[in-house]
Chains A and B, each alone.
Chain A
């Protein structure tokens, strides 16, 4: 019961913010609405007892990605991104409606097949299947079955490459400027 109510509240927040995000003309408001969508999704993770995933969602998306968007908005001039609007009636409407329908169909199919809603949201009041930090850490760092050490290392190398690449690009620009 309590979970169902919380789910309804979160769903309303997510949907309303998402609609506001794509329909508002002011870019900063859109970024803020996106932040609330991400918070709502984090709330859903908490509802499902995936606390680590929820914390990562808040920390990475709210603290990282949204701030990056905001800084990117700051880097362009104030006028270019303000008041942008797009006509939505036209050929592309059909395509968009088709893609939306496919997405909707997939979600419905998954819901019906797995009965997630009934198991975890409606009946799951007393149930707590929180995965401990220890399990997650062990799985991330082992090379056994269900161990994720290889992708983990790949991602770290990839991120390091991104940082070095950024520095190289910046350095070239600085050299050009000084010439």
Chain B
């Protein structure tokens, strides 16, 4: 297994010993480099995800999607990005300008904040706090405020309506999301993201196998709630283009809208990434207990495993989005409060019982 901490240690040595920098400057340079790497990965993944969404959507609707710009339409998204960057940014008359300009940043901060918690490889955790998974849910709740302020600041009744819907939906689904994560924490005995992944290395150690029935249920509930949390799939009522004319970001143009667009796709990726980390083993390779097979699997770097699993979950979520019809707002809230929330509490109890009696699967 390739350990990325070799690279980070080498870089640290390079700054401290070879260049002879003090602790302060070394840490500062490292922070800037890591920050740039996060933002670069964020932008690149957004482009990949938007292209993937277009193609997946097209094939589900028996079309072929974008094919004109570049080979097989590969340059289409780059052209869109360019268009978005050179659009004029203007504010609506009588809008609350301060909140109007602030809101996209809150949404993007929440998105980048949760994004930087993902474990990319062994030794390549960017933010790895003791309270990791709890902090992820905390930071993702900043996005709700951003969505609401956007609707309010736009001075548009459709936007306010959509912002209300979005906020109610996101707050509701955060609950079952959190409870599912807690049931995973019971199994791994740690909240630290690196610890959670570490607990899943080895043959048949992914949580979804280790925790069998409750873990599988928790994974399914997590995917549904995550889809709703990212305002996607059958739950994209907040932006309901046919009745609310795109909802809380109706009045945004240029990069203001671009931020929402980016955050939507990256929230999808983050939800899939957290589901992968917590239930499908993060960067942990597939080991089945046969030495030869495990050795071959361990040669594949963790980054490939992580991205492969995450994109598989992303594909699953896109499949759901383009297959199911959109729910009404009362149906969305009913689904959460009457079905998912009790179900996730039952899962929590079931998982606690399983762990307490030692009914987990250990190879």
Binding site for B on A (CB under 8 A): 1-2, 26, 28-29, 32, 35, 51-52, 54-56, 58-59, 62-64, 66-67, 70-71, 74, 125-126, 130, 132-133
Q: Which 9 pairs from chain A and chain B are nearest by CB?
A: A63-B141, A59-B138, A58-B138, A55-B135, A55-B131, A55-B138, A51-B131, A52-B131, A55-B134
Residues of B contacting A26 with CB < 8 Å?
Answer: 96
Contact (A133, B99) CB under 8 Å given A28-B152, A55-B138, A58-B139:
no
Give A138 Cβ to nearest chain B Cβ, in Å. Answer: 12
| Closest A residue to B168 using CB positions | A71
Contact in complex: B171, A32 (CB < 8 Å): no
Contact in complex: B135, A51 (CB < 8 Å): yes
Give B151 Cβ to nearest chain A Cβ, in Å. Answer: 10
Q: For the A-B complex with A2-B27, A55-B135 known, give 15 more contacts whose Cβ atoms are closer than 8 Å.
A: A32-B99, A32-B102, A52-B134, A54-B135, A56-B134, A58-B135, A63-B141, A66-B145, A67-B144, A67-B148, A70-B167, A132-B130, A133-B130, A133-B131, A133-B192
- Is B137 part of the contact surface with A, judged by Cβ < 8 Å? yes
Chain A, interface SS category: helix
| Closest B residue to A46 using CB positions | B129
Name B142's contact: one of A29, A58, A125, A126 (CB within 8 Å).
A58
The CA-CA distance from A16 to B191 in the complex, in Å, is 34
Residues of A contacting B18 with CB < 8 Å?
Answer: none
Residues of B contacting A35 with CB < 8 Å?
Answer: 145
Give B181 Cβ to nearest chain A Cβ, in Å. Answer: 12
Contact in complex: A58, B141 (CB < 8 Å): yes
Contact (A59, B130) CB under 8 Å given A29-B99, A66-B145, A133-B190:
no
- Is B242 part of the contact surface with A, judged by Cβ < 8 Å? no
Contact (A62, B138) CB under 8 Å given A67-B144, A67-B145, A133-B191:
yes
Residues of B contacting A51 with CB < 8 Å?
Answer: 129-131, 135
| Closest B residue to A20 using CB positions | B98
Give B47 Cβ to nearest chain A Cβ, in Å. Answer: 30
Chain B residues 92-146 with CB under 8 Å of chain A are 96, 98-99, 102, 129-131, 134-135, 137-139, 141-142, 144-145
Name B138's contact: one of A28, A32, A63 (CB within 8 Å).
A63
| Closest A residue to B189 using CB positions | A134
The CA-CA distance from A63 to B141 in the complex, in Å, is 5
The CA-CA distance from A71 to B27 in the complex, in Å, is 42
Residues of B contacting A132 with CB < 8 Å?
Answer: 130
Residues of B contacting A67 with CB < 8 Å?
Answer: 144-145, 148, 167, 171
| Closest A residue to B148 using CB positions | A70
Chain B residues 149-179 with CB under 8 Å of chain A are 149, 152-153, 164, 167, 171, 174
16 A-B residue pairings within 8 Å (CB atoms):
A2-B27, A28-B99, A29-B98, A32-B145, A51-B129, A52-B131, A55-B134, A59-B134, A62-B142, A62-B145, A63-B174, A66-B145, A70-B148, A133-B130, A133-B190, A133-B192
For B134, B138, B152, B190, which residue has the most chain A Cβ atoms within 10 angstroms?
B138
- Is B331 part of the contact surface with A, judged by Cβ < 8 Å? no
Give B135 Cβ to nearest chain A Cβ, in Å. Answer: 4
The CA-CA distance from A126 to B22 in the complex, in Å, is 13
Contact in complex: B145, A59 (CB < 8 Å): no
The CA-CA distance from A54 to B23 in the complex, in Å, is 25
| Closest B residue to A24 using CB positions | B98
Contact in complex: A28, B149 (CB < 8 Å): yes
Residues of B contacting A28 with CB < 8 Å?
Answer: 96, 99, 149, 152-153
Give B183 Cβ to nearest chain A Cβ, in Å. Answer: 15
- Is B24 part of the contact surface with A, judged by Cβ < 8 Å? yes
The CA-CA distance from A91 to B357 in the complex, in Å, is 67
| Closest B residue to A49 using CB positions | B130
The CA-CA distance from A62 to B144 in the complex, in Å, is 9
The CA-CA distance from A1 to B167 in the complex, in Å, is 40
For B130, B145, B174, which residue has the most chain A Cβ atoms within 10 angstroms?
B130
| Closest B residue to A50 using CB positions | B131
Residues of B contacting A58 with CB < 8 Å?
Answer: 135, 138-139, 141-142
Residues of A contacting B27 with CB < 8 Å?
Answer: 2
Give A89 Cβ to nearest chain B Cβ, in Å. Answer: 27
Give B248 Cβ to nearest chain A Cβ, in Å. Answer: 13
The CA-CA distance from A54 to B134 in the complex, in Å, is 11
Give B356 Cβ to nearest chain A Cβ, in Å. Answer: 14
For B23, B129, B131, B152, which residue has the most chain A Cβ atoms within 10 angstroms?
B131
The CA-CA distance from A26 to B192 in the complex, in Å, is 41
The CA-CA distance from A2 to B139 in the complex, in Å, is 24
The CA-CA distance from A64 to B137 in the complex, in Å, is 12
Residues of B contacting A63 with CB < 8 Å?
Answer: 138, 141-142, 144, 171, 174
The CA-CA distance from A28 to B150 in the complex, in Å, is 11
Contact in complex: B23, A125 (CB < 8 Å): yes
